[in-house]
């Protein structure tokens, strides 16, 4: 399988710095921000954004973790149901600016599930989406607010965001199917 | 691992890995009950029927809440106002429910083995909510879940089950589950209420309560089922209580952090002295709320495996 490196570790670092600055600019600081990462890799990207916010604003934004398994729209079609991991949102989202973080946005279905799940925790004043990669092919009317890199891909290609926390190395690669 | 069973009938047939997967899934499910909106859409469009041939408000309510938290449609069928009283057989009733669209049937029945009959004859997933004096898997799973939550593990623990082992499906399921997960299981009660073959199920038998709870980490008290005491297994309740009721003095030999559990409802002053019952009440309430999470996990796993067959 041919492999193409889209981003290396330095590029990923810079991207997170830029995304964080955009978040702070748009929300005029970090006062009402909460960060929620979608399992698995979105959680680590979310942690990095939260650390960066802490560095810049001296505020530790509340961090949550979302497992969207119970909200998937393809459960009824899947032959093998994924293992349910824990959702942990140990704070109120009521009237907060929620920054929802994932590694890749593709069809938009994961985001849809995540939006629905967050709403079950309360009524935030807004939900904004940040992703490292936007690879197109949306099937729902959902767009990210903060994007690391936008790439045109074929449906047959696979985009993999590898992070040190889970894969031992930071890089974004394209695999030709 | 993935769960490949369409039914959950008893702990005797589950492997340690399967039991652990149910407990892990329950841990994720527990969080749902702490939310503003206590409901997730996972089982939308699935109809679950609770078919109860024995009165049980507690277990049935727990199953019903679990079903509703997963967004399933719920159909309740209880003995008093169903066609059972009109002479219909179990299988005919269940087939009717299936024709109404139920794809999961939760059954409680006084005859041991009846859930297996339904599992063999129907297309639906079957969950055993207690069959005769045979198995009560959801109760044992929630006990295991609660023990794991409090002690951080199950392997190596000394667990004592006290009381009417003979008639208790909770005891049977717990013995299977605990021994599979590596606990040392002891049972204690009057000789007339301990079945003969129990040693083969990997439980050590005692007839003296103090000896049995020596060094115990967990004590599971069984309810004396007044409704089953029509034939005489012990001379009097007072005598039973004197020998097998748990009091502060009898607890001295147990581990200092011993956890006392009870499936409820408690007969205060009989199985547990009132002060022990008060101490144990927080654990007993934990057991109740854990029961919902465990049952949600059972539904999720069974519904997922049911799709493949």
pLDDT, residue B231, reads: 63
For chain A, the domain total comes to 1
Average pLDDT over residues A61-72: 95
Is residue A83 within 8 Å of residue A104, measured between CB atoms? no
Contacts of A69 in chain B (CB under 8 A): 42
Number of neighbouring beta carbons within 10 Å of residue B156: 11
pLDDT, residue A79, reads: 65
Whether residue A116 is contained in a domain is answered as yes
Whether residue A164 is contained in a domain is answered as no
Task: Break chain B into its structural domains and give their ranges.
Answer: 16-136+289-306, 138-287
CATH, domain range B16-136+289-306:
3.40.50.1370
pLDDT, residue B303, reads: 87
Among chain B, residues having any CB pair with chain A shorter than 8 Å are 2, 21, 24-25, 27-29, 31-32, 35-37, 39-42, 45, 70, 297, 300-301, 303-304, 307-308
Is residue A143 within 8 Å of residue A161, measured between CB atoms? no
Portion of chain A with pLDDT greater than 90, in percent: 86
Average pLDDT over residues A152-177: 91
pLDDT, residue B2, reads: 81
Chain A interface mutation, best of B27, B294, B299, B307, highest count of A Cβ atoms under 10 Å? B307
Q: Which residues pair with A105 in a beta bridge?
A: A134
Contacts of A85 in chain B (CB under 8 A): 28
In the predicted structure, residue A126 carries a pLDDT above the cut 80: yes
Taking phi over 0 as left and psi of -120 to 50 as alpha, with beta for the rest, B101 belongs to: left
pLDDT, residue B233, reads: 83
Whether residue A142 is contained in a domain is answered as yes
ipTM entry: 0.86
CATH, domain range B138-287:
3.40.50.1370
* Chain B contact present for A167, CB below 8 A: no
pLDDT, residue A1, reads: 63
Whether residue A79 is contained in a domain is answered as no
Q: What is the CATH number of the domain that holds A17?
A: 3.40.50.2020
**Residue A85 Cα, gap to closest chain B Cα (Å):** 5
Task: Fill in the DSSP letter of residue B272.
Answer: B
| Average pLDDT over chain A, rounded to an integer | 93
Chain A to chain B, count of Cβ pairs less than 8 Å apart? Answer: 57
Inter-chain touch B40–A85, beta carbons under 8 Å: no
Closest by Cα among B224, B293, B277 to B32 = B293
The model's pTM is: 0.92
Query: Tens digit of pLDDT for each residue in A90-119?
Result: 999 999 999 999 999 999 999 999 999 999
Whether residue A177 is contained in a domain is answered as no
In the predicted structure, residue A75 carries a pLDDT above the cut 80: no
By the 10 Å C-beta count (0-12 exposed, 13-18 middle, 19+ buried), A25 is classed as exposed
**Residue A167 Cα, gap to closest chain B Cα (Å):** 21
Residues of chain B predicted below pLDDT 70: 80-85, 226-231, 306-309
Q: Note down the domain range covering A38.
A: 10-71+84-155
pLDDT, residue B81, reads: 60
Inter-chain touch A86–B27, beta carbons under 8 Å: yes
Query: Tens digit of pLDDT for each residue in B255-271?
Result: 999 999 998 788 888 89
Query: Tens digit of pLDDT for each residue in A27-59?
Result: 999 999 999 999 989 999 999 999 999 999 999
């Amino acid at each position: 399988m041919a492999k193409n490196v889209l981003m290396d570790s330095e590029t990923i670092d810079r991207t997170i710095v830029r995304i964080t600055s955009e978040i702070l600019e748009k929300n005029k600081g970090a006062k009402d921000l909460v960060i929620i990462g979608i399992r698995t890799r979105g959680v680590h990207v979310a942690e990095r954004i939260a650390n960066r916010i802490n560095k810049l604003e001296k505020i530790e934004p509340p961090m949550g973790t979302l497992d969207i398994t119970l909200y998937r729209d393809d459960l009824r079609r899947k032959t093998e149901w994924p293992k349910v991991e824990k959702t942990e949102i140990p704070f109120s989202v009521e009237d907060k600016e929620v920054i929802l973080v994932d590694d890749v946005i593709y069809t938009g279905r994961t985001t849809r599930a995540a939006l629905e799940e967050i709403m079950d925790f309360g009524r935030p004043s807004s939900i904004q989406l940040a992703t490292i990669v936007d690879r197109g092919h949306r099937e729902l009317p959902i767009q990210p607010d903060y994007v690391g890199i936008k790439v045109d891909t074929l449906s047959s290609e696979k985009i993999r965001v590898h992070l040190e926390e889970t894969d031992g190395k930071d890089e974004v690669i394209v695999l030709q199917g | 691992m993935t769960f490949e069973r369409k039914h959950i009938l008893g702990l005797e047939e589950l492997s340690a890995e399967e039991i652990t997967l149910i407990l892990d899934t329950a841990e994720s499910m527990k969080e749902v009950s702490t939310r503003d909106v206590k409901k997730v859409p996972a089982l939308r469009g699935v109809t679950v029927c609770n078919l109860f041939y024995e009165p049980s408000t507690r277990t049935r309510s727990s199953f019903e809440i679990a079903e509703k938290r997963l967004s399933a449609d719920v159909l309740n069928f209880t003995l008093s106002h169903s066609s059972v009283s009109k002479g219909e057989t179990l299988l005919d009733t269940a087939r009717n429910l299936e024709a109404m669209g139920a794809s999961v049937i939760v059954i409680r029945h006084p005859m041991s083995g009846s859930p297996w009959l339904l599992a063999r004859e129907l297309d639906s997933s079957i969950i055993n909510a207690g069959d005769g004096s045979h198995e009560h898997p959801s109760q044992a799973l929630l006990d295991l879940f609660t023990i794991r939550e409090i002690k951080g593990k199950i392997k190596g623990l000394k667990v004592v089950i006290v009381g009417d082992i003979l008639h208790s499906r909770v005891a049977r399921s717990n013995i299977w589950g605990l021994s599979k997960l590596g606990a040392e299981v002891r049972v204690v009660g009057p000789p007339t209420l301990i079945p003969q073959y129990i040693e083969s199920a990997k439980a050590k038998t005692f007839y003296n309560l103090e000896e049995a709870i020596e060094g115990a980490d967990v004590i599971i008290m069984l309810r004396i089922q007044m409704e089953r005491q029509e034939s005489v297994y012990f001379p009097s309740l007072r005598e039973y209580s004197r020998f097998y009721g748990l009091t502060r003095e009898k607890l001295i030999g147990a581990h200092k952090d011993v956890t006392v559990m009870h499936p409820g409802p408690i007969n205060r002053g009989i199985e547990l002295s009132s002060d022990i019952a008060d101490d144990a009440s927080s654990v007993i309430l934990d057991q109740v709320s854990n029961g919902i999470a465990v049952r949600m996990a059972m539904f999720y796993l069974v519904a997922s495996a049911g799709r493949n067959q």
